[in-house]
Chains A and B, each alone.
Chain A
Amino acid sequence: MIRLIALKELRLLFASPLAWVVLAFLQGFFAWVFLSQLQSWLELQAQIAAQPGAPGVTEWVVAPLFATATIVLLMVVPLLSMRMVAEERRAQTLPFLMSSPVSITQIVLGKYLALLLFLALAVGLIVIMAFSLFAAGRLDLGLLAANALGLLLMGGSFAAVGLYLSCLTAQPLVAAVGTFAVLLGLWLINISTRDPDSLLHMLSLMRHFENFAKGIVALPDLAYYLVLIALFLFLSIRRLDGDQLRA
């Protein structure tokens, strides 16, 4: 049932030009970043190769690509998640799901799975782009995998927040703006904190990506994203459940 709902959401996502435009934009933008990084690496390679511990091509080209991708996803995911529930409310199609023998948990998980698959596609395209470097040399696959995992978790968190915000309103645009505001808040939550042990660092979306960017997959970072995702999925289920009581 979850799979069925995910397929339906993907079908609807790709029925609108939005998904295609987003994918095209992402791919074009990433290619541009990728090529400019590659060019600077080619120019500097001769100079830094002599130094001990010099960054390899993966560190120099791929890691910045993924770092840029996190910011781009921050802007793009709200556009993908905004319609998930808000549009169903607006078009009054929610009864179709609610009166079929599917639980609200299944509905929410199905919709989330659709977003995750879309993100996996976007991340996958970046990974394929990075693989093109094999033609010229060797890649640090561990670093690449850590970056890809980090980006997927980061995007997954964005999607969970977006899905919840979409449950709160019948206006997709309001959901998108709200999601963007919440994500930006979580992104920059520790920006003015001087104390290095502050709790706010623990809450920052950006902070937890830093380890992944260095190729370190640490449990606290993994847990942070997974807890964030679970929390907002739970809130979404609660919210839709509450609809039946409130309406």
Chain B
Amino acid sequence: MNSSNGTAEVSAEITLSAHELSRSYGGARAVDGIALELRRGEVLGLLGPNGAGKTTTMQMLTGNLAPSTGSISICGIDLLERPAAAKARLGYLPEIPPLYKELRVDEYLRLAARLHRVARGRVADALQQAKSHCGLMEMGQRLIGALSKGYQQRVGIAQAIIHAPDVVILDEPTVGLDPNQIRDIRTLIRDLSDRHSVILSTHILPEVEAVCDRVQILHRGRIVFNDRIEALRQFRGAPVLLVGFRRAPAPEEVAALPGVGGVRRGPEGMLRVERSGEADPTDVLVEAAVARGWGLTHLAPEHASLEDVFVQLTRQDAPEAMQAAA
């Protein structure tokens, strides 16, 4: 499902670039010398645990926070030197959608368009487009304060894209939504990448897999991983098998099977079976379970969780991780 529509060509125009970006709060470095680059048509996932510096980074990229050091340019326009010109090409949805609850959806979006310098005659068109894009066609006359959380989030996205910016920056756009809404918003973000380039922050790994072309993982203000989404999959390693039996054998007995690297106890009496090398122990497990009457009840690959990836990325000083960050 990911990268379905034209993963950004390497030759595509660079829409956003940031170098040596740092930000300190008091003595603490929230963001420490990170670099970002975004090309037209690309969806970049900014991934990281809470407090990793995602929001700080996005605030700097959108001109809400002055970086301590570093430079940012949007389509070649320096954000710090010519903020107005650069911001006109930006759309930003902060973590908490900046909505005026007393306004109607149409009023608010029209204001967003005019503030972002959409010409007066073009506002009606832009409004229609943004609304149809975000599934807000029926909602124009509703008060924003009276909308559900999901619709408010859509209004937030609509205000970020109404002026057809080159770069759209979305800070945790699916937080607090129900699964259907999350799916809608993800589809919407994929659609956006046709015309805009998107930076998206999240701490949910499947979300990144679903919508992003490229991932940068932040940890304690540093980038510990920066590569295409396929590389992240490899980085997560071969899946572990989660196996359940009605009459569970001793873990040692399972560990002795060919192709099995190691066995650990899993949840609810199940076993986590690791691979040894490239071999896939699935067939062996099934045959052994039948032959020895273990009564197989569950057999499924279990991907490493984001937590595991983090542990991997932040614990090991693997040279590849370092290279990726460079």
Chains A and B form a bound pair: yes
Name the A residues within 8 Å of B203 (CB-CB): none
Known contacts A16-B102, A92-B94; is A99 also within 8 Å of B107 by CB?
no
Distance, CA A103 to CA B82, complexed state (A): 11
Known contacts A101-B117, A102-B84; is A15 also within 8 Å of B103 by CB?
yes
Asked whether any CB of chain B lies closer than 8 Å to the CB of A134, the reply is: no
**CB pairs A–B below 8 angstroms (18 shown):** A1-B115, A4-B114, A11-B102, A11-B107, A15-B102, A92-B94, A93-B98, A95-B59, A96-B100, A98-B64, A99-B62, A99-B90, A101-B83, A101-B85, A101-B117, A103-B84, A244-B66, A247-B25
Question: Contacting A93 at CB < 8 Å: which of B66, B90, B99, B114?
Answer: B99
Q: Smallest Cβ distance from B121 to chain A, in angstroms?
A: 16
Contact with B along A1-33 (1 / 0, CB 8 A): 100110010011001100000000000000000
Name the A residues within 8 Å of B87 (CB-CB): 99-101
Name the A residues within 8 Å of B83 (CB-CB): 101, 103
Nearest A residue (CB) for B171: A95
Distance, CA A99 to CA B116, complexed state (A): 9
Q: Are A11 and B114 in contact (CB under 8 A)?
A: no
CB contact list, B50-83 vs A, under 8 A? 59, 62-66, 83
Known contacts A96-B98, A101-B85, A247-B59; is A12 also within 8 Å of B103 by CB?
yes
Interfacial residues, chain A to chain B (CB-CB below 8 A): 1, 4-5, 8, 11-12, 15-16, 91-103, 244-245, 247
Asked whether any CB of chain A lies closer than 8 Å to the CB of B159, the reply is: yes
Interfacial residues, chain B to chain A (CB-CB below 8 A): 25, 59, 62-66, 83-88, 90, 92, 94, 96, 98-103, 107, 111-112, 114-117, 159
Known contacts A101-B85, A103-B83, A247-B59; is A94 also within 8 Å of B115 by CB?
no
Q: Is the interface of A mostly helix, strand, loop or mixed?
A: helix
Name the B residues within 8 Å of A99 (CB-CB): 62-64, 87, 90, 92
Q: Are B102 and A12 in contact (CB under 8 A)?
A: yes
Distance, CA A8 to CA B116, complexed state (A): 14
Name the A residues within 8 Å of B107 (CB-CB): 11
Q: Smallest Cβ distance from B311 to chain A, in angstroms?
A: 31
Nearest A residue (CB) for B62: A99
Question: Contacting A95 at CB < 8 Å: which of B84, B85, B94, B115?
Answer: B94
Q: Are B100 and A12 in contact (CB under 8 A)?
A: yes
Distance, CA A11 to CA B102, complexed state (A): 9
Known contacts A11-B107, A12-B103; is A95 also within 8 Å of B62 by CB?
yes
Q: Using A11-B102, A96-B98 as known contacts, list a sample of 14 further A-B pairs with CB atoms less than 8 Å apart, ordered by residue number in A.
A: A5-B115, A8-B100, A11-B103, A11-B107, A12-B100, A16-B102, A94-B98, A96-B112, A96-B159, A100-B87, A101-B115, A244-B64, A244-B66, A247-B25
Distance, CA A99 to CA B167, complexed state (A): 12
